[in-house]
Structure 1
Amino acid sequence: MAEHRRLFFALWPDEALRQQIAAISATADWPRGARRVPAAHLHLTLVFLGDVPAERVDAVRSVAASLRVAPFELSLAGCGHFPRAEVGWLGCVDAPPALFALNTGLRQRLRTQGFALRGESFRPHVTLARGLREPPVLPDYPPLHWPVSEYVLVESRRGRAPAYTVIGAWSLAPVSD
C-alpha cells in the first residue's frame, strides 16, 4: 500500500499572536465535552487536501510556489460555532480580498494538478475547540491584528496526541503586473 500524508495549507500565527489567541481560549466558558485546541496547533486553514500520496507532495509544493498573492492583514474578532463540525472558533472581521484570492488560487491550481478537494465554501476562522454541541461563550476582547506575510503546508498526524508539522512555507509578495 502506498504511503499517504495528511496535508493542508494554512496561515500559521507567530508565537505572540498564538499566545493572545490561547489566552482568549483559556478564559472562555466552554461547554461540557469541549476539547480545546493546543496553542501550538492554532492556525487558519486555507485548503484541506486530506490524504495525499507521498509521491504527490512535490506537486503540492509546486502549486504553492506558483502562486503570487500580496501580503495582507487579518482582524480576528468574535466567536462562533459550526454545529455540524462541532467546533468553536474565532472569526475574521472584514476578511480582505487577498485572503480569498489565496484560497481560490490554491484550490484552482490544486484541481488543475488533479487533486480532488472537498467543499466549496471558505469561512475563514481559527478553531479553538472541538466536540462542541453548543456554542461557546468567549469573553469580550479587542480585535487581534494579524499581519500575514506567508502561508504554510502542514502535515497532520492522527493519534492519541495529534501532531502538526509545517513542511513548507511560502512568502507573500506584492503582485507585479
Structure 2
Amino acid sequence: MIRLFTALEIPDDVAEKIVPLQQGIDGARWIERPDFHITLRFAGDIPEDAASDFAEALEEIPVEAFEVELEGLGEFGGARPHTLWAGVKPSEPLRILQGRHESAARRAGLKPETRNFTPHLTIARLGRVETAEVYSFIRAHSPFAAPAFTVDHFTLFSAKGATGGGPYVIERRYPDFGWAEED
C-alpha cells in the first residue's frame, strides 16, 4: 500500500508570504515549507497496482498554463477547527484540472471523491486549540493575498500514513519535462 495524492507545488515567492504567518496559535502544528501544496486529488492508501494505474492515467491529462492566486484565510472544522488554510481564488482552469484528476482516479479504479473540491493550502493542523484563538488569528491576518503564480505542471506525491503525512515525497511531475529529482 502507498498513500498518494496529486497537487500543485508552491513557488518560493508565494511561500514567503505564508511562512511569516506560521506563529501565534498555541498547539498548532505548522506545515513545513517543503510540504506546501494545493491538493488536486487525494488517492489515499492504495495497492501498488492501483498506484501504477493512477500514475499512468495521470499521463493523459493535458496541462495548459494558467494562473493561481491565494486569497483569504479560513479553517475547516467550524466549532472545532482542525485545519488552518490559505484559500485559492476560484478559476475555471483549476476546476477543469481537478476534474481531470478525479476522472483519472476513477479510470484507475479508485472510489469517487465525495467531498466538494475546496482548493486551499494548509498552513497548520490544529489538534486541540482554542477556537477563539483561531478566529482571532484569521481576523488579525485578513485580508490575506499572495502573488499569482503560473501553473504549468502538477505533481504526484506520496505521504506517510500518519496524520499530516509529511514530509511528502515527489513521485513524479506531469508533464515530465525531464525534471531532476530534488533532495
For residue 58 of structure 1, the aligned residue among 52, 56, 65 is 52
Work out the percentage of aligned pairs sharing the same amino acid: 23
Output the amino acid matched with 2:155. Answer: V
Distance in 2, matches of 1:117 and 1:129, equals: 26
Q: Provide the residue aligned with 1:166 in structure 2.
A: 170
Report the TM-score when normalising by structure 1.
0.82
Evaluate the alpha carbon distance shift between residue 159 and residue 123 of structure 1 in structure 2; reply closer, same or farther with a 3 A threshold. Answer: closer
For residue 119 of structure 1, the aligned residue among 108, 114, 117 is 114
Would you say the 8 A contact 1:77–1:144 is kept in 2? no
Regions of 4+ moved over 6 Å: none
Instruction: Give SS of 2:148's match.
Output: strand
Q: Provide the residue aligned with 2:11 in structure 1.
A: 14
Report the TM-score when normalising by structure 2.
0.80
Task: Give the stretch that moved more between structures: 38-47 or 159-168.
Answer: 159-168
Aligned residues: 165
1:110, CA displacement in angstroms?
1.5
Would you say the 8 A contact 1:18–1:40 is kept in 2? no
Q: Does 1:153 align with 2:156?
A: yes
Instruction: Give SS of 1:63's match.
Output: helix
Q: Provide the residue aligned with 2:179 in structure 1.
A: none
Output the amino acid matched with 1:123. Answer: T
1:122, CA displacement in angstroms?
0.3
Q: Which runs of 5+ in 2 are unaligned?
A: 177-183
Q: Provide the residue aligned with 1:92 in structure 2.
A: 88
Instruction: Give SS of 2:13's match.
Output: helix
Distance in 2, matches of 1:75 and 1:97, equals: 13
Instruction: Give SS of 1:115's match.
Output: coil
Task: Give the stretch that moved more between structures: 69-78 or 5-14.
Answer: 69-78
Distance in 1, matches of 2:58 and 2:19, equals: 28
Instruction: Give SS of 1:163's match.
Output: coil
Q: Which runs of 5+ in 1 are unaligned?
A: 173-177
Evaluate the alpha carbon distance shift between residue 159 and residue 125 of structure 1 in structure 2; reply closer, same or farther with a 3 A threshold. Answer: closer
Would you say the 8 A contact 2:57–2:107 is kept in 1? no
Q: Provide the residue aligned with 1:107 in structure 2.
A: 102
For residue 128 of structure 1, the aligned residue among 123, 127, 131 is 123
Instruction: Give SS of 2:116's match.
Output: coil
Distance in 2, matches of 1:18 and 1:171, equals: 23
Output the amino acid matched with 1:15. Answer: D
